[in-house]
């Protein structure tokens, strides 16, 4: 069998290795100007990486030719054997919830691991890991071309506007998230709070852990001792009564709102990056009497400035270093400097980390 992998990032490389283990003849390509020479008719299966959008030429051509076009997640679902799978998605909070749930299960004696959008590809965990139970964090991109019902349980934590630079509208983004519902086995537990109240993440993790067989006493102890993952409201230091918070994983508008709500003022906020199509005016009300100044960086700076003009003190800065320098001049006693971009970071950085 001959397979093509679109994208040669972490997910693509993992899919390539997994396919080779299945004795496929594999070609992996980075899409771009050089992909004109690729003849899709030669391939029996095409695996697309999450970063390849549906507007990509090869992606569209594969659909036109009615070639089997699947995600790296779907590849794993087709070959995961008897492993127990729990799927977690949502616009915000999915990494924290994935790690919290995995910790609950490990502490309860399960051979559990976290994989997927969290950093370790699902197929890599299947290939190299020794887990019997895998908690899979799922992005909307990964869900788009996933079809096989293999998740024993799953949840959608919330759906708020995000990735509108990829999807035609919010409804299309919602449809991608809701695909998880179609991947739950018959009789499996599916949780979705349409109100999107993500303070409920701990309750969701607790419910999924209990459903998997974890004991309540261990779950409660895990909740007490669990620490937030890096880059999510992470206190990175204090200096002269000033607090510095790294929330670089906040890559959409709602995530920045949640960060501001979680902290006491006065807050000096560094935000910006690659715009994802949202409306930054949603920040005006939550920022009132709490955010003292906003320091704008990246490609979205002008759009954010227009949206917030007159609502809060704004400072246009060329880069992160300049933003920190400017904020340090303006911060007063017991202020917090918060990095919570509200955008993706690809204009200046490789990823949110």
- Annotate 121-185 with three-state secondary structure: CHHHHHHHCCCCEEEEECCHHHHCCCCCCCEEEEEECCCCCCCCCCCCCHHHHHHHHHHHHHHEE
3-state secondary structure of 25: strand
309 CB-contact burial (10 Å; exposed 0-12 / middle 13-18 / buried 19+): exposed
In this structure, the strands spanning 336-339 and 291-297 are unpaired
- Looking at residue 230, what is its pLDDT? 76
Residue the block writes with tokens 């559990």: 112
- Looking at residue 33, what is its pLDDT? 63
- Looking at residue 198, what is its pLDDT? 46
Residue the block writes with tokens 């200046």: 348
175 CB-contact burial (10 Å; exposed 0-12 / middle 13-18 / buried 19+): middle
Q: CB atoms < 10 A from the CB of 194, how many?
A: 8
pLDDT tens string, the chain, 353 residues long: the values are 999 999 999 999 999 999 999 999 999 998 776 677 899 999 999 999 999 999 999 999 999 999 999 999 999 999 999 999 999 999 888 999 999 999 999 999 999 999 999 989 999 999 999 999 999 999 999 999 999 999 999 999 999 888 888 999 999 999 999 999 999 999 999 999 765 444 888 999 999 999 999 999 999 999 999 887 777 888 988 988 999 999 999 999 999 999 999 999 899 999 999 999 889 999 999 999 999 999 999 999 999 999 999 999 999 998 999 999 999 999 988 999 999 999 988 656 666 66
3-state secondary structure of 271: strand
Q: What tokens appear for 286 in the block?
A: 């939550």
- Looking at residue 240, what is its pLDDT? 87
Question: What is the spatial distance between Cα 170 and Cα 277, in angstroms, rounded to a whole number?
Answer: 10
What is the pTM assigned to this prediction?
0.81
321 CB-near residues (< 8 Å, 6+ apart): none
To 5 degrees, how large is the angle CA 217–CA 219–CA 225?
Answer: 105
For helices 216-225 and 94-107, angle between their N-to-C axes, nearest 10 degrees: 130
For helices 201-212 and 216-225, angle between their N-to-C axes, nearest 10 degrees: 150
């Amino acid at each position: 069998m001959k397979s093509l992998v679109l994208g040669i990032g972490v997910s693509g490389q993992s899919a390539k290795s997994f396919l080779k283990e299945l004795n496929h003849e594999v070609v992996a390509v980075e899409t771009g100007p050089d992909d004109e020479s690729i003849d899709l008719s030669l391939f029996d299966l095409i695996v697309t990486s999450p970063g390849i959008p549906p507007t990509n030429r090869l992606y569209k051509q594969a659909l036109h030719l009615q070639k089997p076009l699947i995600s790296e997640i779907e590849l794993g679902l087709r070959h995961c054997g008897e492993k127990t799978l729990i799927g977690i998605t949502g616009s915000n909070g999915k990494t924290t919830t994935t790690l919290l749930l995995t910790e609950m299960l490990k502490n309860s004696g399960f051979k559990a691991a976290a994989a997927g959008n969290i950093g370790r590809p699902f197929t890599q965990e299947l290939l190299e890991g020794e887990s019997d139970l895998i908690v899979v964090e799922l992005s909307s991109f990964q869900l788009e071309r996933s079809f096989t019902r293999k998740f024993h349980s799953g949840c959608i934590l919330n759906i708020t506007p995000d990735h509108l630079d990829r999807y035609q509208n919010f409804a299309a983004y919602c449809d991608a998230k809701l695909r998880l519902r179609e991947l739950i086995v018959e009789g499996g537990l599916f949780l979705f709070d349409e109100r999107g109240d993500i303070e409920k993440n701990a309750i969701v993790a607790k419910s999924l852990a209990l459903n998997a067989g974890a004991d309540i006493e261990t779950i409660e102890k895990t909740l007490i001792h669990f620490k937030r993952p890096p880059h999510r409201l992470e206190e990175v230091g204090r200096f002269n009564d000033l607090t510095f918070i790294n929330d670089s994983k906040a890559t959409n508008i709602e995530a920045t709102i949640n960060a501001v709500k979680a902290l006491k003022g006065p807050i000096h906020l560094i935000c910006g990056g690659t715009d994802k199509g949202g409306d930054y005016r949603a920040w005006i009300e939550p920022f009132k009497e709490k955010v003292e100044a906003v320091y704008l960086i990246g490609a979205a700076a002008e759009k954010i400035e227009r949206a917030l003009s007159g609502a809060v003190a704004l400072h246009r800065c060329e880069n992160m270093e300049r933003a920190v320098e400017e904020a340090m001049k303006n911060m007063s006693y017991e202020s917090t400097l918060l990095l919570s971009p509200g955008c993706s970071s690809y204009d200046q950085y490789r990823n949110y980390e």
